[in-house]
A and B are shown apart, each in its own frame.
Chain A
Amino acid sequence: EVQLVESGGGLVQPGGSLRLSCAASGFTFSIYDMNWVRQAPGKGLEWVSYISSSSSSIYYAGSVKGRFTISRDNAKNSLYLQMNSLRDEDTAVYYCARDNVHTSMARDYWGQGTLVTVSS
């Protein structure tokens, strides 16, 4: 069974840092591109960042570029999001999601999400 389990969320002050993790199981993690998607309270979905299977291609939303860093460790079946210089508007549930070539790169599996709250 495919599973994606996020962790690392919590309360952090503005300007602070947090590192999110996503543990993957039930599939060959190393051959799938991955994403972070977030959802602010009561708002819609916002794509945050993408990383290809080999980490050769990485993209960020403009709202987080220069502050967030996506990475992965295929040996550990894990995806990460390092978040620095956090702002109030970064408060959201953060999901990791898998892109699947067999679904035309639609996101076919999602984790349950981890809540990041940025507040003083």
Chain B
Amino acid sequence: DIQLTQSPSFLSASVGDRVTITCRASQGISSSLAWYQQKPGKAPKLLIYAASTLQSGVPSRFSGSGSGTEFTLTISSLQPEDFATYYCQQLNNYPFGPGTKVEIK
């Protein structure tokens, strides 16, 4: 089975910061990766699919890149509503990464 790891697991940042989260797959998965955002007590929200395609309605400050085994989610200028936990997920398979919690510095 393909395993996903995320780094860092915890990130402390300020409003306006540029934030990058990395997701690594134990085997190559081409561009078959999605990113989700989850706020406390809420369901996950799809941000990006196919590694770099922004889901409809998601602000353009979010972007995704990568292919094969290494992927990144970037928030160009962190906003107060972006403090949440972010998960990657391999498409066409089912596991999620362990998550990255983004908190206010």
Separation of A103 and B43 alpha carbons in the complex (Å): 18
Asked if A111 contacts B94 (CB within 8 A), the reply is no
Asked if B95 contacts A108 (CB within 8 A), the reply is no
Say whether chain B's binding surface is mostly helix, strand, loop, or mixed: loop
Asked if B96 contacts A45 (CB within 8 A), the reply is yes
* B50 interface residue (CB < 8 Å to A): yes
Asked if B34 contacts A95 (CB within 8 A), the reply is no
Asked if A104 contacts B95 (CB within 8 A), the reply is no
In the bound complex, residues from chain B placing their C-beta under 8 Å from that of A97 are 44
* B11 interface residue (CB < 8 Å to A): no
Separation of A88 and B92 alpha carbons in the complex (Å): 29
Asked if B34 contacts A106 (CB within 8 A), the reply is yes
- Contact of A44 (CB < 8 Å), options: B42, B55, B87: B87
- Contact of A106 (CB < 8 Å), options: B38, B49, B97, B99: B49
Asked if A111 contacts B96 (CB within 8 A), the reply is no
Asked if B55 contacts A108 (CB within 8 A), the reply is yes
Asked if A104 contacts B49 (CB within 8 A), the reply is yes
Say whether chain A's binding surface is mostly helix, strand, loop, or mixed: strand
In B1-50, the 8 Å CB interface with A consists of: 32, 34, 36, 38, 42-46, 49-50
- Contact of B55 (CB < 8 Å), options: A50, A103, A110: A103
Other A-B pairs, 16, CB within 8 Å; known A104-B34, A106-B34: A35-B94, A44-B96, A44-B97, A45-B44, A45-B96, A47-B96, A59-B94, A104-B50, A104-B53, A105-B91, A106-B49, A106-B89, A107-B44, A108-B55, A110-B44, A111-B43
In the bound complex, residues from chain A placing their C-beta under 8 Å from that of B46 are 103, 106-108
Asked if A95 contacts B43 (CB within 8 A), the reply is yes
- Contact of A113 (CB < 8 Å), options: B32, B43, B50, B96: B43
In the bound complex, residues from chain A placing their C-beta under 8 Å from that of B89 are 45, 106-107
* Closest chain A residue to B87, Cβ basis: A45
Asked if A112 contacts B43 (CB within 8 A), the reply is yes
Q: Give chain A nearest CB distance to B87 CB in angstroms.
A: 6
